[in-house]
Amino acid sequence: MLSLGGGELILIGVLAIVLIGPEKLPDAARWLGKTWGGMRRALDDVTGEFRRELHQVDEEVRQVSRAALDQNKAQPKTPEEPADPGEVTADADLADFIGEVTGTSEESEDPASK
């Protein structure tokens, strides 16, 4: 988390002695240690609560997934009924279809012939 080398630690120690003084330095170090420990405990509590909530949500997602899979397995898979070939050929007249698509029909007159 903090990457302090030997030189940085010596500099911090010298600054602490100069700014705080040698008499109050043990009290300041004790306060800093307690504060640091309290912050770590608070962070651990928040992390633990987050993990518990995440685990609960994950479990709910698994339950919903299982229910969806079970429901999918319970439904029989039947193919759709194929259309009757006689019905298809009786309704499909190729000339009418081409006329609908192109916008012309066999009965329409050629405008040039008028």
pLDDT in tens, 69-102: 888 777 766 666 666 665 555 455 666 667 677 7
Please indicate, yes or no, if residue 15 is contained in any of the structural domains. Answer: no
Is the pLDDT confidence value at 53 over 80?
Answer: yes
Please indicate, yes or no, if residue 55 is contained in any of the structural domains. Answer: yes
Q: pTM, whole model, 2 decimals?
A: 0.45
Please indicate, yes or no, if residue 41 is contained in any of the structural domains. Answer: yes
Please indicate, yes or no, if residue 97 is contained in any of the structural domains. Answer: no
Which percentage of the chain shows pLDDT scores above 90? Answer: 35
> Residue 60 has what pLDDT?
94
Please indicate, yes or no, if residue 54 is contained in any of the structural domains. Answer: yes
User: How far apart (Å, rounded) are the C-alpha atoms in residues 7 and 18?
Assistant: 17
Query: Looking at residues 35-44, what average pLDDT do you find?
Result: 96
> Residue 47 has what pLDDT?
97
What is the extent of the structural domain holding 61? 35-73
Number of domains in the chain: 1
